[in-house]
């Protein structure tokens, strides 16, 4: 559907919108008004396509995939929607004629931060790809009133503030009270047998909570498809609150009751590093699962098909184990509400559910105390118990007498319900998110499960949407690419490899360089405006942006900067290539060590940036409140992408792919998807350092790593670490960094930071040398861009659709 035939038509429609909907003129409207007017104007167009897409899915009884995720890190939607609707330039020019700047209006939208990091952003990229590939796939999540906290740096330390993202109207959502669902918690279950011997369950004294969906349209790229992101919000049911108020006879009680119900969807848990077994988190998970599955079953029933065809029409995907209760919930509905027997219900459930694992860190694996699950979700607990019994019996048949194996694989053991085990047993597909990660699952972390169900395990290397991360975030680069190789890469990103035809074209390489420089200048201006720090756009922009976690080793980067500083101080004539180190990272509020690392980085920044001997050579910038919109600014302006996790720990990484696509060179370990980037670009176009996964396992096996030995043998390490606790510009004679020192030495450096230090320094030296050879550097950058197409999430989603969901592309006939 064409939205506006030309710019003039847009301008008229826009002015009308302002006047009719908001009662304002261009002169009297605030920026937020104009943003709203623009948003609601394009919403009218989106709504038409949305309706059509839904009708079409219904008439054709198209198979639907529902992607259940506790997190969707969407970022801002306006710019991407305009891009996908094919009106970006037209709108931009039309607004400019009216004296308005689109990029200014875009900033009025709050960044929807309903996720912690990688897992949530992946979900958002997948939605964009599903719609763009005309696949019937929808996101199911929670509408948190507060998303990821706002990070402020005060006195060099992280301080968290609530993220009031909904105080400004979220213009994209539509509340759908007519589709509300009741979710039940607590209470008791009793059973009785009927005359045919069939068991019936009665659920009483439960606490009912209304789940109200808010739908957000997900617009496909140039194809009229509009899918749905359905976010559930917890609200008390009117009827129930009235009853309660009457019973308690007091308004105060009513308010407390209302608040406690609403608290379920109040906030996103901001900790993706440790699983703390909190009751409210389990409530959130079941709330999402139950409202989601009930509403899906409802729509399936409208198709009038037999239950056996449920898996042909519905795929339920769980993004990590957080929504794993989908399995017992679907069983519950099929058996208790639809009267289906266990075996058939189990077949339907397994055939519909698939699961992605995103981490092997043991501290992040979910398990819930039996007592908690039993009291909060009595019927669900009974079903999990039965699944476990049957599974253990089956194991017993295959491996009679093998107690250790059965105890190892059981879903319930040591008083805990293990969500990964439930997810594996109850689904037909289990995938890891990069080749190395999947191999680790198969050969190590989930080896026994893999031996039991080898056919269920598969790899789906992650991807990112090239529409947001290249076309929208880096328009100049994207235009240059199209100038060089035509625009087919937009539909088929693998065609970016055609760029290799230009590898000897010096003027093309120069253009690539100029674009990077222009982006760096823009970014430097932004840094100056927002942080008051001047950075040199000719210096190497070395960027480390991701959640702060021990295994991601921001500390290794920080220690390297301290070392560089020391070198410069002891020899001011040292010939060093100017560098600006950028960091962006949020630490989980209770992750003490991570917060200390943030403090250290900020301390290093204040030392380095204010020292006249070094400030023209190195600068350190900690960008507060790292978010999707900040990532969109910084990635196109980067030269070096820091992907330096300890080998075996980073399941995939997706930032690495975004940087590569924007022409930055990876400095990284052989971990996660770095391994695949390395395979594609070859040794000359990436900087690999550090222990390999096999070496890490060798150290684990023979327990021979001693960080103290490294400290004693490497004078650079010794000097730098001593500066953390002895008097130095970094410690200022205080004990702020004692814990960091202890983690590295007293506790033997869990993440091999010191072990990899020397090798990291060498790799960094090589980066500096290579950067000076402009032509070669630009060529390396070109190679990276040209090989990045495989990391488009379109490729990933096509693989999911083909291998896991069995989804066909719908050719829209609109």
Where does this chain bind ligand 26V (CB under 6 A)? 116-119, 122, 269, 271-272, 275, 320, 358-359, 364, 366, 433, 462, 650-654, 672
Closest distance of CB 143 from ligand 26V, Å:
17
Residue 186 Cβ vs ligand 26V, minimum distance, rounded to whole Å? 22
Q: Which of 36, 138, 456, 552 is catalytic?
A: 552
* Cα end-to-end distance, the chain, whole Å: 8
Closest approach of ligand 26V to the CB of residue 812, in Å: 30
Of 118 and 217, nearer to ligand 26V (C-beta) is 118
Contact indicator for 550, 594 with CB cutoff of 8 Å: yes
Q: Is residue 448 flagged as an active site residue?
A: no
Spell out the alpha helix ranges (H) of 60-117: 78-84, 88-97, 102-106
As beta bridge partners, residue 114 has: 72
Instruction: Say whether 494 is catalytic.
Output: no
The C-alpha atoms of residue 525 and residue 315 are separated, in whole angstroms, by: 47
Q: Say which residues have a Cβ less than 8 Å from residue 247's Cβ, sequence separation at least 6.
A: none
Distance from C-alpha of 405 to C-alpha of 409, rounded to nearest angstrom: 6
Query: Which residues, in sequence order, are CB contacts of 283 under 8 Å at separation 6+?
Result: 185, 264, 376
| Least Å from the CB of residue 275 to ligand 26V | 4
Work out the angle between the directed axes of helices 774-787 and 506-531 (0-180°, nearest 10).
90
CB under 8 Å to 365, separation ≥6 — which residues?
Answer: 275, 321, 359, 418, 419, 420
- Quote the CA–CA distance of 805 and 525 in Å, as a whole number: 46
By beta-carbon proximity to ligand 26V, the closer residue of 118 and 213 is: 118
Pick the closer one to ligand 26V by CB: 366 or 632. 366
CA distance 430 to 447: 13
Catalytic residue among 108, 502, 547, 579: 547
Beta carbon nearer to ligand 26V, 362 or 573: 362
Q: How far is the CB of 123 from ligand 26V (least distance, A)?
A: 9
Length of the chain: 814
Contact predicate 255/241, CB 8 Å: no
Q: Which is nearer to ligand 26V, 431 or 602 (CB)?
A: 431
Alpha-carbon torsion, ordered 656, 657, 659, 661, to 10 deg: 160
Most distant CA atoms of the chain, gap in Å:
94
Short-list 235, 51, 222, 76, CA closest to 142: 235
Output the CA angle 579-582-585, nearest 5 degrees. 160
Which C-beta is closer to ligand 26V: that of 519 or that of 669?
Answer: 669
Cβ closest to ligand 26V, residue 71 vs residue 542: 71
- Between CA 702 and CA 649, with CA 555 as vertex, the angle to 5 degrees is 50
Question: What's the closest the beta carbon of residue 352 comes to ligand 26V, in angstroms?
Answer: 22
Pick the closer one to ligand 26V by CB: 437 or 511: 437
DSSP-derived secondary structure letter, 38: H
- Residue 358 or 780 with smaller CB distance to ligand 26V: 358
Task: Return the closest-CA partner of residue 131 out of 52, 213, 62, 223.
Answer: 223
From the CB of 358, what's the least distance to ligand 26V, in Å?
Answer: 4
Task: Provide the minimum distance between the beta carbon of 658 and ligand 26V in the complex, in angstroms, as a whole number.
Answer: 11
Look up residue 317 and give its DSSP letter: E
Residue 498 annotated among the catalytic residues of the structure = no
**How many angstroms separate the CA atoms of 280 and 659, rounded?**
37
Find the shortest distance in angstroms from Cβ 248 to ligand 26V.
Answer: 34
- For 528, the enclosing helix (H) or strand (E) is helix 506-531
C-alpha–C-alpha distance, residues 557 and 760, integer Å = 9
CA angle in degrees (0–180, nearest 5) for 521-523-526: 115
Give the 3-state secondary structure of residue 585. Answer: coil
Rg (CA), the chain: 27
Distance between CA atoms of 630 and 658, rounded to whole angstroms? Answer: 13
We find the least distance from the C-beta atom of residue 433 to ligand 26V, in angstroms, to be 4
CB of 271 to ligand 26V, least distance (A): 6
Pairing of strands 150-154, 137-142: unpaired
Active-site residue, selected from the candidate residues 546, 553, 586, 755: 546
CB nearer ligand 26V, residue 547 or residue 579: 547
For residue 447, give the H/E element and its range: helix 447-452
Which residue among the candidates 138, 332, 358, 460 is catalytic per the annotation?
358
Who's near 775: CB < 8 A, 6+ residues apart? 506, 509
Q: Which is the catalytic residue, given 321, 356, 438, 654? A: 654
Active site residue 546: yes
Indicate the residue whose CB is closest to ligand 26V: 118
If the CB atoms of residues 272 and 749 are measured against ligand 26V, the closer one turns out to be: 272
The residues assigned a catalytic role are 358, 546-547, 552, 654, 658
């Amino acid at each position: 559907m064409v939205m506006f035939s030309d710019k003039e038509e847009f301008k008229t429609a826009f002015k009308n919108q302002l006047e009719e909907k908001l009662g304002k003129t261009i002169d009297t409207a605030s920026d937020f008004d104009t943003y709203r007017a623009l948003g609601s104007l394009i919403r009218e167009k989106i709504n038409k396509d949305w309706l059509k897409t839904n009708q079409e899915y219904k008439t054709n009884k198209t198979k639907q995939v529902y992607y259940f995720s506790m997190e969707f890190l969407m970022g801002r939607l306006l710019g991407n929607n305009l891009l996908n609707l094919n009106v970006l330039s037209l709108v931009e020019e039309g607004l400019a004629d009216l004296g308005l700047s689109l990029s200014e209006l875009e900033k009025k939208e709050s960044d929807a931060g309903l996720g912690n990091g990688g897992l949530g952003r992946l979900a958002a990229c997948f939605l964009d790809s599903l719609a763009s590939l005309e696949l019937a796939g929808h996101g199911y999540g929670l509408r948190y009133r507060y998303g990821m906290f706002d990070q402020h740096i005060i006195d060099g330390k992280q301080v968290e503030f609530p993220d009031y993202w909904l105080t400004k109207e979220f213009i994209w959502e539509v509340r759908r009270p007519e589709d509300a669902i009741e979710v039940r918690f607590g209470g008791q279950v009793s059973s009785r047998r009927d005359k045919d011997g069939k068991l019936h369950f009665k659920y009483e004294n439960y606490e009912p909570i209304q789940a109200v969906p808010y739908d957000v349209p997900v617009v496909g790229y140039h194809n009229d498809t509009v899918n749905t992101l359905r976010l559930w919000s917890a609200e008390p049911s009117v009827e129930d609150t009235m009853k309660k108020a009457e019973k308690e006879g007091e308004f105060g009680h009513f308010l407390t009751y209302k608040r406690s119900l609403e608290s379920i969807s109040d906030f996103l848990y901001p900790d993706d590093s440790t699983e703390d077994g909190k009751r409210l988190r389990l409530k959130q998970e079941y709330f999402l699962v139950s409202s989601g599955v009930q509403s899906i079953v409802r729509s399936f029933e409208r198709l009038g098909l037999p239950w056996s065809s449920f898996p042909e029409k519905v795929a339920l995907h769980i993004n990590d184990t957080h929504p794993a209760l989908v399995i017992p919930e679907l069983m519950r509905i099929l058996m208790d509400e639809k009267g289906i027997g266990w075996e058939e219900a189990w077949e339907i459930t397994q055939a519909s559910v698939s699961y992605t694992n995103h981490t092997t860190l043991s501290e992040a694996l979910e398990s819930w105390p039996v007592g908690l699950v039993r009291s909060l979700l009595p019927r669900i607990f009974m079903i999990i118990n039965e699944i476990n019994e049957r599974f253990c019996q089956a194991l017993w048949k295959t491996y009679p007498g093998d107690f250790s194996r059965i105890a190892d694989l059981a879903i319930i053991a040591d008083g805990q319900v293990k969500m990964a085990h439930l997810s594996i047993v109850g689904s037909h597909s289990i995938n890891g998110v990069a080749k190395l990660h999947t191999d680790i699952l198969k050969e190590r972390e989930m080896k026994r499960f893999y031996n039991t169900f080898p056919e269920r395990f598969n790899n789906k290397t992650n991807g990112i949407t090239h529409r947001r991360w290249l076309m929208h975030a880096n328009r100049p680069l994207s235009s240059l690419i199209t100038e060089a190789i035509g625009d087919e890469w937009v539909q088929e990103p693998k065609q970016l490899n055609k760029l290799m035809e230009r590898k000897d074209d010096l003027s093309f390489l120069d253009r690539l360089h100029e674009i990077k420089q222009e982006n760096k200048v823009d970014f430097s201006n932004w840094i100056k405006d927002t942080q008051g720090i001047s950075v040199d756009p000719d210096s190497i922009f070395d960027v480390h942006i991701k959640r702060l976690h021990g295994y991601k080793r921001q500390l290794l980067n920080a220690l390297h900067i301290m070392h560089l500083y020391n070198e410069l101080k002891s020899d001011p004539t040292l010939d060093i290539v100017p560098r600006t180190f950028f960091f962006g990272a949020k630490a989980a509020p209770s992750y003490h060590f991570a917060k200390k690392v943030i403090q250290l980085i900020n301390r290093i920044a204040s030392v380095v940036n204010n020292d006249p001997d070094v400030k023209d050579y190195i600068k350190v910038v900690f960008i507060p409140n790292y978010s999707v919109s900040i990532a969109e600014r910084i990635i196109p302006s980067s030269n070096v992408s820091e992907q330096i996790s300890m080998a075996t720990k980073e399941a995939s990484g997706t930032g690495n792919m975004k940087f590569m696509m924007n022409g930055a060179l990876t400095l990284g370990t052989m971990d996660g998807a770095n391994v695949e980037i390395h395979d594609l670009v070859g040794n000359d176009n990436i900087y690999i350092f550090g222990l390999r996964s096999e070496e890490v396992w060798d150290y684990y096996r023979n327990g021979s790593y001693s960080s103290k030995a490294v400290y004693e043998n490497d004078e650079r390490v010794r000097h730098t670490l001593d500066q953390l606790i002895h008097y130095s510009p970094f410690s200022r004679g205080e004990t702020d960094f004692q814990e960091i020192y202890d983690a590295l030495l007293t506790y033997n450096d869990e993440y091999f930071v010191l072990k990899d230090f020397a090798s990291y320094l060498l790799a960094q030296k090589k980066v500096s040398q290579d950067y000076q050879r402009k032509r070669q550097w630009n060529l390396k950058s070109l190679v990276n861009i040209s090989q990045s197409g495989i990391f488009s999430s379109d490729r990933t989603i096509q693989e999911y659709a083909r291998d896991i969901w069995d989804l066909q592309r719908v050719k829209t006939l609109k």
